[in-house]
Structure 1
């Protein structure tokens, strides 16, 4: 059996919010695997679904994640200036879509060096390791952003189907960005949930019901209700709206569209949180 360390237990607790003992037991059952530990907690009914961090159409928005080792360095003018330079250059370059792309580029303010060499020089000067871990760009439609107080969590959002960026539309886009920050959806709509994700969730809920002692004939009937709850957790448009939980986000957007006479659609969002690693769709630079 794999050794279950305090750090592993804390990591699982941070991911799920479950108690320390529950996390330890889940990790023991999962052989020390964090992802399988999350599934084990969910099968026990302890953890909820695992969570996956305005301008005109001619403008774009970007968020980059440049990691360092301490809050002290992250707050220095030198580090923040470097982040600003990287973001400005990545946004201006049509060929930059990943951290690896940006690292290879010549530094706009000194073309004799690459961005990778620039970061290496900063590491030597500041004395802490740094890594360009993530980069996300959005362009087209109406773009919005929300940065949570403390600058530990941020959201970029892209809305399409509209050309205006009137105050009412900007407010709507910002409200949806705040929703994403608070509720951490994995998908925009149910139609985006993959067949593999659906089958995995059904298996988790089926196993959970069996462990609760439900008869086999009842288990399958329970799946429909529990899958609806799953979609409510992971799909943005099915989540209760944080400012008026009698409405889903989808209903709120629909009502706002009718009121403003527009056809706004949420096309894409990006959520960043300090301490989270890049997901499968946001690979880190090698």
Structure 2
């Protein structure tokens, strides 16, 4: 791994603080990743970030997130003549939306994404703290082995963890059909168009011959 790349990533994101994200989230109800993206797009300008979220319809979508989503679909997908199987549950508020072609297409696209990209968690908050600490310790140890100055190691670790999440968290992964979008972007578009609380509840991926976890 090239830790200089992680260091650069860390430098890019340092201007956007956790407090800025929290303030924007509290004000708009938008998700953490959406708030970070809005602040990055607006170079940290709070008012422009709020406008960005409103233009994208993300603040409104987030306000629906406390509504009960108990309908939906369980999508089952088999790939490679049965060598890989995926089951993913996606929920919505109404049976009407559960039958919508766009909703079912989204569930199918998630199954394809999971089969191809092997995420481990649905969202960032699902990652166990112990797992993040282990990855951070590995990144710090490798950076020290490469002789990186102690002062820059926290930024390197931050960049490393960001890439780790991009690879292992479904909502942060690049969409396999269009890498200019993430799965979160795909989700946002659907939530805004359907005007319901959409929840990617859970998934499981099996591959022939793999050991049980």
TM-score in same-fold range (> 0.5):
yes
Matches within 5 A, 1:55-74: none
Rg bigger for which structure? 1
Are positions 1:224 and 2:158 aligned together? Answer: yes
1:140 Cα deviation (Å)? 6.4
Q: Which residue is 1:261 aligned to?
A: 195
Contact preservation (8 Å) 1:180, 1:236: yes
Q: Deviations over 1:243-269 (max 9, x none)?
A: 111111011111122123332210010
1:156 Cα deviation (Å)? 0.3
**Could you state the TM-score of these two structures normalised by the residue count of structure 1?**
0.48
Comparing 175-184 with 214-223, greater Cα deviation is found at 214-223
Q: Deviations over 1:130-163 (max 9, x none)?
A: xxxxxxxxx9631112111321001000011233
Are positions 1:150 and 2:81 aligned together? Answer: yes
Find the residue that maps to 2:130 and give its secondary structure.
Answer: helix
Unaligned runs of 5+ in 1: 1-41, 46-138, 280-286
Q: Which residue is 1:238 aligned to?
A: 172
Are positions 1:188 and 2:122 aligned together? Answer: yes
Q: 1: distance between equivalents of 2:71 and 2:212? A: 24
Aligned match of 1:215 in 127, 149, 156?
Answer: 149
Matches within 5 A, 1:30-179: 141-162=72-93, 163=95, 164-179=98-113
Q: 2: distance between equivalents of 1:197 and 1:176? A: 24
Find the residue that maps to 1:277 and give its secondary structure.
Answer: coil
Q: 2: distance between equivalents of 1:179 and 1:210? A: 35
Size of the aligned set, in residue pairs, is 144
Q: 1: distance between equivalents of 2:99 and 2:116? A: 24
Find the residue that maps to 2:143 and give its secondary structure.
Answer: helix
Contact preservation (8 Å) 1:140, 1:158: no
Kindly indicate which of the two structures has a greater share of residues assigned to helix: 2
Unaligned runs of 5+ in 2: 4-69
Q: Which residue is 1:48 aligned to?
A: none
